[in-house]
Structure formats: structure tokens, C-alpha cells
Structure 1
């Protein structure tokens, strides 16, 4: 099973870590046909749905998108070749429309879709250093202390609980506390409106979906305006949060705090780059993690025996060493991957690619969601 998402592996690791904290805290046949273009499908459907349509009767097919060769696949052999094969370094770039990335603030900035290798490496090191056992334990502690209050405030008169809202609020608070040094008790002082931030994060993902592959010539004026405003709204929230942290932080930064390390890394870069990197930590820690947490809880909810075994295993050996907990998270990511598709671009010609002629610039779309439920896999 492959559980890489559309986000960078470091961000995916963060999301997995925070999602784990929530659980603990709360308890090739190739088609010969080559179409000229699938642009119309992508314009009328999401990329995962459009890709599924192309893979109805085959494991892999070749198409064109915006004039670029595109391989669409749900073949696990192809996925293994790209993620784990000897030529995996040929697939480190992520294809997208440049104007779309600029709209999202991701063009040569941040971590998730940054194709500037040097800039990406420097940001990645900060993210990786933050994904340590100390921070994960802190996140668990935040979630344990916040869980009861959030659950009570998310329960309606009929006694029903909006668990997706609970997961989002928990992961949001854990992310802010662990990586930005902001506790929920500081929200008023720092001007953070929790629901506004969470809504902005959700809307940013919708904008991401809209702008990523769609060429500028096919932007709808009203939708472009709507999604551009959503991006700017989250950027504004993150900038205000960073300004508040700088204003209220001690003269000596907290040792190892993600936001301080991020400032040091970006001190010779433009302010927008700092905002984008902080924004990506926030969206990965909050939304990506909460979706995985929600479906993990949904999966174990009917099984009381599994809940008991999971609780016992975590209490006896700890979350980081619990094989059962890892299995639950992995199974969740199998049937509900946060990023249903992964996009890669060939850095150079690859004559060894299984079953297809891959030249420099060829885009590969791996449909994880379809692959993980494929009977042959």
C-alpha cells in the first residue's frame, strides 16, 4: 500500500503524526488509445474524478493535458517504480500551471509544491526537525487537555457530535501550540478566531483544487475571484498570527520552536516566503491531519473489541511503538487517502519506465484512491 499524499513527504509525515496524536488523545494493462486532450474533463470535474473516468477499463492510459504528455495510472507497479525504484530521483518535480501556483503562493515558495530545489531543501530541513518525538508527545498532551471541552461545545441539543469539527479544532490547537507556541488561552490576545482560521484553511484547499492544473485561459472570472480571495484570506490570517508572535515573543526565541527556526531560515528571503511556509504547516497540521483522524475514528467506531485492544496497546507500549495504531492509520489512508492522486513530472527522459515512453516533462498522475481498492493490488 502507498500512503503518500499530494503533499510533500515531510508534510505527509506531519499530518500522519498529528492524526496519530488525535487517535491517542481521544482514547498494468495499458490502454492503446491516446486521446488528444482531457482538458474538458479536468475543467468540469476534479482531477481525481477525471482520472477515475479515464481508468474505467485499464490500469494505465496515456493522454494529453494542456499540450503536455500525461500518464494516468492506478498500477501499483508504476507507483512502486516512481516512489521506490532506482530511478525515483527522476520524479522529484510536481507538475502544475505556473499561474495557478502563483495564485496559491506556492510558486518557488514553501514546501509542498516548491520546485526550487535549494529553497525546498532549506524549508524541508525545518519541517523535518520539527517532526520529533518531543513535539508529537506535546501534541498528544494538547489534544488530551482540549478534547473534553471541544467535544462538549460541539454537541448539539440532540446529543449528536460533529466529529469532523472536533477533529479540526483539535488538530488546529495542537498545531498552533506545538509549532507556533500559541495556546488556546492566547487566542484572544493574539486575535485568533478559531472558526475563521479553520474555514479559511478549508477554502484554501478548494482554491488549490481549482488553480493547480487549470490553465489561465480557462479560469472563470467569478470563481477566480472567489478562490483568489480565499487564498488571500488565509495568507492574511497567517501574516497576522506571525506578526502577533513576533510582538509577544520573548527576546530569546524558544529553543527548537518551528516558527523561530522558520524565521531564521527565511531571514534573507521575502516576507511572502515565510508566510507561505507557515501557512503550509498550518494546513497540513490542521486539515490533512483532521481528515485522517476523522476517518480512523469512523472506522473503529463500530468495533468495540478493536477500540479496547487499541487503547491497551497504546497505554502499554506508547503511541510511537504501537503497531496496531499504525495499522489503523495505514488502513485509513488506504481506503480514504487525504490526497487521492499524486502528481509527478519526469526531470529527464526515462527509457526504463514500465510500459510507456516517458520523455522529459511527461506528467504522471497516480490515482492512489483507485489503486488502493484495486482487486489486483
Structure 2
């Protein structure tokens, strides 16, 4: 065994070696031909470079580092990163010229060290970080031609079907637990996007357990990617546990991809046909499969996740989205989510040759980092930049290019159109099924704590409540326990409660049960006012989970019982619209509560029945009216309150 002195000496030797390597690394970089080139920024002497070296490798991520220097020196700043001169910018016009201007083909490779790329198995392979221009061009062409319009159409259909399966799973879980479902939404979205990519691009389906394993591999691979990509190899020994864990993550994902590839039908999709019918090595094919799964799963799911969270703070826009059949508005909502919370907060490039952009001479090898997160919240480029306003893209289409969530130009995201057609049905189906609510809404979404694992991941996945967008209506004779049950449902399920409408209207009209019995016209006017009030209230809960302890059907039944001219109520437009609403069983779930002898009592407000048979007759009239208008309803015969709740709950989450 080594003595403690030997261990200390070994540690000291390693530390000194790393410090010496860092100093040589910084000094060697100083010999590269860069200057300040009229760009704002600190003088890059040895001390500044050492400060930046420590800052980016020990204290800050790339997004944090670049944001820091932009905030101190302006929209274009010169810094030192990855052993070389780096231009950091949040200037949208300058960014556009880099990405999609006349010199954009000069910026189709990315900054990154070769040791790191080898560690994550991306060195000269695939398209995400392949800095071999010839290979990159070939493999990008293969990728693009494999994502045809037919593939995108299939992606839309599969995304819809897979999302509906996930909704079914959430409902099944709720029925099993007899409780309002709480959802790890990011995990749900990852399962959906992974299933879409696997089905559309590779023609395969995985069970839940295998999908969970693959998702964990993807998440851990991104962490390894961030660690190895920009850290010079000589400082890896400072983080032995991280190196071991990240290397293990890389190998694990590689194993999963090889396992998938072994069972693929190479002609199962146009994407696979393109991969296997071109001159690619087995390693290159596996890397393309890996990158399709990586990019198609995590970036789309995280973008959707942030958009859903933003909609919890912007219910008016959420309601517009639910009411709209305009595909372009759905796209605008997604774009606005990606503008405020870009999954790729920085875009990294490297100059292939000398060029000049906006009067700035950029030398070959200069690193470029576009601080997209800062740029997209900059008041110079976006009015009221911190507000969630999808209509901004309808007012000014040029903002789509300015926000650049998936890049621009020759190096833009090759799957951006695939991602959009995939995301639109996912957000539409999930929003139609559930209203999502945050459990701990103490901070604004735009202030969400995130971590940069290449994709900007949330530091903590928020667990959300998923409330079905249904209206639960309790009807029946007086004194059957409608209000008591409605209050219980509202409290347990966080539902909007619309209750005691008759009492409210009676008080407003200064009426009493005696007056209503004595004067049929007053009774008819009273029921008409109830219908109008009910119609107005129901219009306010169109997109909510709501519980109502009566509806317009109650007014019709009472009017039929006490007023000869009750049919006049059927001529009211509010009555007609309410009846049409109640026919829509996808929106309204109606429960008729049967009378129980032990519940019959006079509270001084209701128009009471003469006896139990008269009371039962009310229930029959409800059935007659609902059958007449073909309104679906469920009967609650249970007296126990909890049993009633359970039946309502199970019906609400009926599969």
C-alpha cells in the first residue's frame, strides 16, 4: 500500500502538471494571430486569459460565460475560449450574417477540441459536430434526403397517435390511484418524441421499460458531451469521477444504438434506406442513428416542455390556441416558446478562412459564439421581449429569422421541419385533453433555473397537475346532495365551482318559494333568469375542469312542474345553446342524482315536493328531458358521499 506521504506527493505532482499544462496552453494560444480588431472587450493578456480559462472550466457554463462578457462589454465582444480568440455576440444582424449571409459557408464547423470529440465518439462522424467538411457535406445530404415530405407527414400522424396513447396512460394511472394525476411532463414528452423518431425514422417500437432506459442514456450522454467538448484533456484528471461517469454514459448509449441497429430492417424507412444505400461505414451509420435519436428526442421534448410551462402563465393565449384551427398560430406559439426559452442558448461556430463581416475582420480559426438566449430577450430586436406574445411573428415575419431557435443557413438544424410537424400535434392533443397547472408556481417560467448539457435542461423537472378539460354537471331534484358533492369534487380536484345559481338569482330578484308557487309567471321569469345566468357562467369555463351543481335542465324541469307556459323557455337562444352543449359528451359529463328518503328536508329556499313520490317524479322528468334531447347521462344511486365521488372520478377519467 502507498503511504499517505506518497499519495500526497502524487496528488501534488498531478496538480503541478495540470497547472504547468494550463500555463503552456495559455501561452501557446497567445502566439496565435489574433488581435482586438476594434471589437470591444478586455485586453487579452496572460492574466485575462487565465481568468477566462478558470471561469469557463471551473465556474461557468458556456452560456453563462458568454452572457457575462456580453453584459459587461456589449452586443459584440472579443474573449478567449477553447485556446483561441472568440467573438461572442448577441447582435441579431451580425448573427444573421454569420449564419445565413454571403459568408455563411465559412462558418459550417464548430469550435470544440478533438480529444473531447473523440471521447464522445463524434470525431469526423455524423453531422452535429463533424468538422471534416467533406464528410459533413455528404452525411448532411444523406440526412436531409431521408427526411422527405412523406416522412414529415407520417411524423405528424404518428405524433398524434403516440400522444393519445400517452393521454390514455395518464388517465389509466389516475383511475388506478383514484386521484388527480400529477405528471412529470418532461418525461412524458421525451417518451412521445422518442417513440415518434423510432417509428418514423427506423420503423421500430419499444416498450415502456426499454424506452426509459434509452431516455436515461440520452440525458446522460448530453452531460458527457458538455463535459468533454470544451475542456482540454490535461484538466480531465481533476475530475476523475466525472470522467469515469461520462465515459460510461458514452459507452452505454453506444451499446444501446448498436443493439437497436442489429434488429433494424434497413428498408423500413426512407431515412434508413438512405443511410444503408450510401457509402457510409458501419460506425458512420451508427452515429447517424444516434444523432437522429438525440436531436429528435431531447431538443423537441425540452422545447415543448418550456412552451407548456409558459402557457400555464398565459391562459388567454392557451385558450386562443385551443379555439384556433390555424396551424400557423400553433407554430407561432411554439416559436415564441423557443424564443424565450431556447433549448440551444448558444450557437457555436468556427471560421474556416479569413473574411470580413460588418466591418469586422475575422481570421481563420476564430471561434464564434452567438448568445441566442440573450439576443432573443434583447429590446433592440424584440418589443417587450420578456412577454409571451406569439402574435409578434404574425405582425413581423422577419422575427422568425431573428429568433433562430434552430439556426439559419447551411448549418441550420437539418430536422427543423420534422421537429415542427412533430411538435404541433403533441401540443394540440395534450392541451385539448388536459389543463396543466404548476404545483409550486413561486417563480416566473423565464427565470427557471437551467443547466447547460448542450441542450438547456431544467435544473428540476416540474411535476404538473393534469386536469381534464371537462364540465361535470350534477342534476336532480332538490335536497339530493348536489351542492355537497360539488363542493367535495371542487376541493379534491382543484376544479372551478359553479354553485347555488338559484339562490343567487332568487336573492337578486327578491323572490321566495311562496311567491314562486303563488305566481306562475314570476316562477317562469325566475327560471328564464336562471338559464341566462347559467349560460353566462358556463361560457366562462369553456376550457376549465369545472363542477356545476345544476344547469339549465334544472330550470326546464322546475318550470315544467310549476308553469303551464314552460315551453317558452325552449324558445330562448340560451336554452338552445345550453342543450347543444350538453349533448357534447366529450365536454360535459352529466350525473343525475337519484332521491333518497333520508335526504328529503325543507331548507326554506327550495320549492319543495309534496311527498316522496312527488320528489321521485322530479327525477323522472330529468330523464325524460335528457332522453328527449339525446343527452347522455349517468345515474348516481349511491347515498355515501365518497362512493359518489369515486363514481364521478372514474367516469371523468373513463378510457
Report the TM-score range of the alignment, normalised by the length of the smaller protein.
Answer: 0.7 to 0.9
- Quick one: structure 1 residues 116 and 66, their matched pair in 2 at CA, closer, same or farther if it must change by over 3 Å? closer
- Quick one: structure 1 residues 303 and 133, their matched pair in 2 at CA, closer, same or farther if it must change by over 3 Å? farther
2:64 aligns to what?
Answer: 49
Match of 2:372 among 325, 347, 368: 368
1:294 aligns with 2:329: no
Contact 2:147 2:271 in 1 (8 A): no
- Quick one: structure 1 residues 253 and 335, their matched pair in 2 at CA, closer, same or farther if it must change by over 3 Å? same
Moved more, 60-69 or 38-47: 60-69
2:335 aligns to what?
Answer: 330
- Quick one: structure 1 residues 53 and 91, their matched pair in 2 at CA, closer, same or farther if it must change by over 3 Å? same
Please give the per-residue CA displacement for 1:326-345, whole angstroms capped at 9, x wherever unaligned: 21121112111111101111
1:237 aligns with 2:256: yes
What aligned pairs does 1:273-292 form with structure 2 within 5 A after superposition?
273-292=284-303
Q: Give the 3-state SS of the residue equivalent to 1:212 in structure 2.
A: helix
1:208 aligns with 2:208: no
Instruction: State the alpha-carbon separation in 1 of the partners of residues 145 and 63 from structure 2.
Output: 32
Q: Which structure would you say has the larger Rg?
A: 2
Normalising by structure 2, we get a TM-score of 0.48
C-alpha RMSD over aligned residues: 2.3
1:346 aligns to what?
Answer: 351
Contact 2:88 2:368 in 1 (8 A): yes
Please give the per-residue CA displacement for 1:300-326, whole angstroms capped at 9, x wherever unaligned: 345455345435544xx6xxxx22122
2:125 aligns to what?
Answer: 109
Q: What's the CA shift for 1:175?
A: 0.4
Please give the per-residue CA displacement for 1:10-52, whole angstroms capped at 9, x wherever unaligned: xxxxxxxxxxxxxxxxxxx952423342221111221111111
2:143 aligns to what?
Answer: 127
Instruction: State the alpha-carbon separation in 2 of the partners of residues 289 and 83 from structure 1.
Output: 21
1:194 aligns to what?
Answer: 211
What aligned pairs does 1:251-330 form with structure 2 within 5 A after superposition?
253-254=267-268, 256-267=269-280, 269=281, 271-311=282-322, 313-314=324-325, 322-330=327-335
Normalising by structure 1, we get a TM-score of 0.81
- Quick one: structure 1 residues 357 and 125, their matched pair in 2 at CA, closer, same or farther if it must change by over 3 Å? closer
Higher relative contact order (CA 8 A, sep 6+): 1
Contact 1:122 1:265 in 2 (8 A): no
Q: Give the 3-state SS of the residue equivalent to 2:183 in structure 1.
A: coil
Instruction: State the alpha-carbon separation in 2 of the partners of residues 212 and 61 from structure 1.
Output: 22
Q: What's the CA shift for 1:354?
A: 3.1
Moved more, 80-89 or 125-134: 125-134
Contact 2:185 2:305 in 1 (8 A): yes
Q: What's the CA shift for 1:275?
A: 1.1
What aligned pairs does 1:14-33 form with structure 2 within 5 A after superposition?
30-33=39-42
Give ranges in structure 2 of 5+ residues lacking alignment.
Answer: 1-37, 382-655
Instruction: State the alpha-carbon separation in 2 of the partners of residues 253 and 107 from structure 1.
Output: 27
Contact 2:346 2:373 in 1 (8 A): yes
Q: What's the CA shift for 1:208?
A: 1.1
Contact 1:200 1:230 in 2 (8 A): yes
Aligned length: 329
Match of 1:171 among 178, 193, 215: 193
- Quick one: structure 1 residues 348 and 194, their matched pair in 2 at CA, closer, same or farther if it must change by over 3 Å? same
Contact 2:86 2:366 in 1 (8 A): yes
Give ranges in structure 1 of 5+ residues lacking alignment.
Answer: 1-28
